[in-house]
Copies of this chain bind each other. A is one copy, B any other.
Amino acid sequence: MAGNSFGTLFRFTTFGESHGPAIGCIVDGVPPRLPLDEAFIQGFLDRRRPGQSRFVTQRQEPDAVRILSGVFEGLTTGTPVMLEIVNQDQRSRDYGEIKDRFRPGHADWTYQAKYGIRDHRGGGRSSARETASRVAAGAVARRVLETAPAPLTVRGALVQIGPHKVDRSRWDWAEVERNPFFCPDADTAALWADYLDGVRKAGSSIGAVVEVVASGVPAGWGEPIYDKLDGDLARAMMTINAVKGVEIGAGFAAAELSGEENADEMRAGPDGRPLFLSNRAGGILGGISTGQDIVVRFAVKPTSSILTPRRTIDTAGHETEIVTKGRHDPCVGIRAVPVGEAMMACVLADHFLRHRALVGAPGPVGDGSPLGDGDPVGG
């Protein structure tokens, strides 16, 4: 089975190479009569767009999205939503030298080994440019989530660059939008700016950790056993370029906790629902949302495109070295923040629809009159 689709009910399929004519996706399973236009999607793409600060790649791409189907007079129609982003700044001359050499840490060798052919221009399909399509799909997912029974937010932040973790006692979501790192603390952001300038000037790169939090997710989403909400989130995040680890709630720290420390106790909350006294579970138990915040973190490795010569082989099997010039991110974890948010939104939209299929729930709108007001009939 081909591997370029994500999701079951809310499902998107992406296409496109870094230096081909265009990238984009078809989003299938979008409920009808949701408001959707290009400006809404563009807002999310702009957060991920390259060239916005000195800490990310200087490739110039407007990443202008165009809706080619599935929307009529400003509303989704229930048919597939096609989103296309034309590639502008291809500058393929930068990539000539990687045509015949495998860059360490990149997918050059594995694509060659798997397919016996490789679009070497900018990494081709394996380029992180593909994540723009995810962000576009994520915007549509947010429209779907707006029809959930209660308000729901999905937000991400960078919480670690190299050895420098964010000071959680100073966490401020509003700050995330004010600095070029999606950092929830201004002081940490200042520290990171200095640190990353050093990395950048050295032609090096550094890893990072991203945290994504969904608030307002009702209890009950997730489909045990193999489509657990945390299983789907783990897959979602691990498929983002350069991600090497994913954890939920306490995550790897749970290995050092006792049962007493780890299990979140409950008191009586509103409407007979539990009020949890902690959230080591990260909002998921048994693969199903608890009603608490869903908290996911993922580790992003440093980009392997650096200025230090590295030992490798060429396509003829001979030993050689390579230096990856071009325009690259000193910390690709930064731009992974909106991508992680998008994947979280897509996973939640999918599970919202799946849960609705299983147990039923009111749809987005409808006063019951079948004709003339856009309300579906018949079940």
Contact of A21 with B by CB under 8 A? yes
Contact of A95 with B by CB under 8 A? no
Contact of A225 with B by CB under 8 A? yes
Contact of A212 with B by CB under 8 A? no
Smallest Cβ-Cβ distance to A31: which chain B residue = B358
Contact of A6 with B by CB under 8 A? yes
Q: How far is the CA of A116 from the CA of B78 in the complex (A)?
A: 9
Say whether B260 contacts A204, CB under 8 Å.
yes
Smallest Cβ-Cβ distance to A126: which chain B residue = B286
Q: Which residues of B contact A245 (CB under 8 A)?
A: 245-248, 251-252, 254
Q: How far is the CA of A228 from the CA of B236 in the complex (A)?
A: 10
Say whether B225 contacts A130, CB under 8 Å.
yes
A253 vs chain B, min Cβ distance (A): 8
Say whether B207 contacts A256, CB under 8 Å.
yes
Smallest Cβ-Cβ distance to A251: which chain B residue = B245
Smallest Cβ-Cβ distance to A310: which chain B residue = B265
Say whether A113 contacts B219, CB under 8 Å.
yes
Q: Which residues of B contact A220 (CB under 8 A)?
A: 110, 113-114, 376-379
Question: Contacts A259-B206, A299-B255; is A317 near B219 (CB within 8 Å)?
Answer: no
A95 vs chain B, min Cβ distance (A): 13
Say whether B4 contacts A80, CB under 8 Å.
yes
Say whether B234 contacts A80, CB under 8 Å.
no
The listed residue (B116, B124, B147, B221) touching A33 by CB distance below 8 A is B116
Contact of A132 with B by CB under 8 A? no
Q: Which residues of B contact A17 (CB under 8 A)?
A: 69-70, 72, 79
A252 vs chain B, min Cβ distance (A): 4
Smallest Cβ-Cβ distance to A120: which chain B residue = B72
The listed residue (B72, B116, B223, B238) touching A366 by CB distance below 8 A is B116
Q: Which residues of B contact A355 (CB under 8 A)?
A: 114, 378-379
Question: Contacts A15-B26, A205-B258; is A225 near B286 (CB within 8 Å)?
Answer: no
Q: Which residues of B contact A11 (CB under 8 A)?
A: 1-2
Question: Contacts A259-B205, A263-B310, A315-B372; is A246 near B234 (CB within 8 Å)?
Answer: yes
Q: Which residues of B contact A112 (CB under 8 A)?
A: 371
Question: Contacts A69-B17, A228-B3, A317-B272; is A376 near B115 (CB within 8 Å)?
Answer: yes
Q: How far is the CA of A8 from the CA of B8 in the complex (A)?
A: 9
**New contact pairs (6) apart from A13-B80, A21-B68, A360-B364, CB-CB < 8 Å:** A2-B29, A4-B80, A104-B264, A162-B256, A205-B259, A262-B302
* 20 A-B contacts (beta carbon < 8 Å): A3-B225, A3-B287, A15-B79, A77-B115, A106-B286, A110-B222, A113-B273, A113-B291, A113-B370, A114-B219, A114-B359, A116-B374, A209-B255, A246-B246, A255-B300, A257-B302, A259-B306, A259-B308, A268-B317, A360-B361
